[in-house]
Amino acid sequence: MEFNHKPVLLQECIEGLNINSKGIYVDGTIGGAGHSKEIAKKLSKEGLLIGIDRDETALQVAKERLKEFSNVKYVKGNHDDIKNILQELEITKVDGILLDLGVSSYQIDTQERGFSYMLNSELDMRMDQNQKLTAKEVVNTYKEEKLAQIIFEYGEERFSKQIAKQIVQKRKNKEIETTKELVDIIKEAIPYYDNNAGHPAKRTFQAIRIEVNNEIEPLYNTVTNSIECLKAGGRLCIITFHSLEDRAVKKAYNDSLRKMYVS
């Protein structure tokens, strides 16, 4: 499958970064390089773009799409480690950082990656294919209480307890292996659902994906560390897609702002 991903809020991000042609910029989630390509276009040969992604496929696609630009460094890693990544590159401060959070449309639409409740495949949901924890392990080994907590907190699903209970009951007879099996279990667990409210498995799949990829817990430190890595006058642009990300980002931003005023 071709790695198609339309960059969200592209012009707003480029304007927000206020790019200095000789500056150093980080795309912490380079993905299909949609945002990065526009950043690279605005950089001179003296400028530098650092593209980070934990998905090896995304990095390979980005390298191909940005092959015309010689001032791009690619790093397989997580934006959570931005401080260490910059230290390894012997860079202390940068002019701008972009974080496009969440899962990409390519990852969702690639059947074998196991992200989608609309496509039947083995439960996986790993952004980094080298990590050990998968959705299958979460669904089949987590205790009922922990499953319910994850589905409620990360999916904001009001039927979290019923879904967790149903998962545990079903896995007693047979390991839950596929996305379709999980969708069917979720549908059984929910007493009713409104078609206008979206797919009944949407919230649970989001919750399990967030747990597998540890998307929320480190986010506060990611934002505060990113702010610390900026030069005076540097810009940080973050795209969030749901309230959990939004709350973590806003708290980190406000706490960092207070520290600046205190110091």
Q: Could you tell me the domains of the chain?
A: 10-102+216-262 (3.40.50.150), 128-213 (1.10.150.170)
Kindly give the parts of the chain with pLDDT less than 50: 1
CA atoms within 13 A of residue 97's CA, in its CB half-sphere: 23
- Asked if residue 40 lies in contact with residue 69, where contact means CB atoms within 8 angstroms, the answer is yes
Residue 54: what residue type?
Answer: R
Tell me how long the chain is.
263
Residue range 133-149, pLDDT digits in tens: 999 999 999 999 999 99
Query: What pLDDT, on a 0 to 100 scale, did the predictor assign at position 115?
Result: 93
Query: What pLDDT, on a 0 to 100 scale, did the predictor assign at position 3?
Result: 52
Query: What are the angstrom distances between the C-alpha of 229 and each of 87, 222, 226, 235, 253?
Result: 10, 10, 5, 10, 14
Question: pTM of the entire structure?
Answer: 0.89
Query: What pLDDT, on a 0 to 100 scale, did the predictor assign at position 194?
Result: 60
Tell me the backbone φ, ψ of residue 39, rounded to 5 degrees. -65, -50
Query: What pLDDT, on a 0 to 100 scale, did the predictor assign at position 120?
Result: 96
Query: What pLDDT, on a 0 to 100 scale, did the predictor assign at position 260?
Result: 77
Query: What pLDDT, on a 0 to 100 scale, did the predictor assign at position 109?
Result: 79
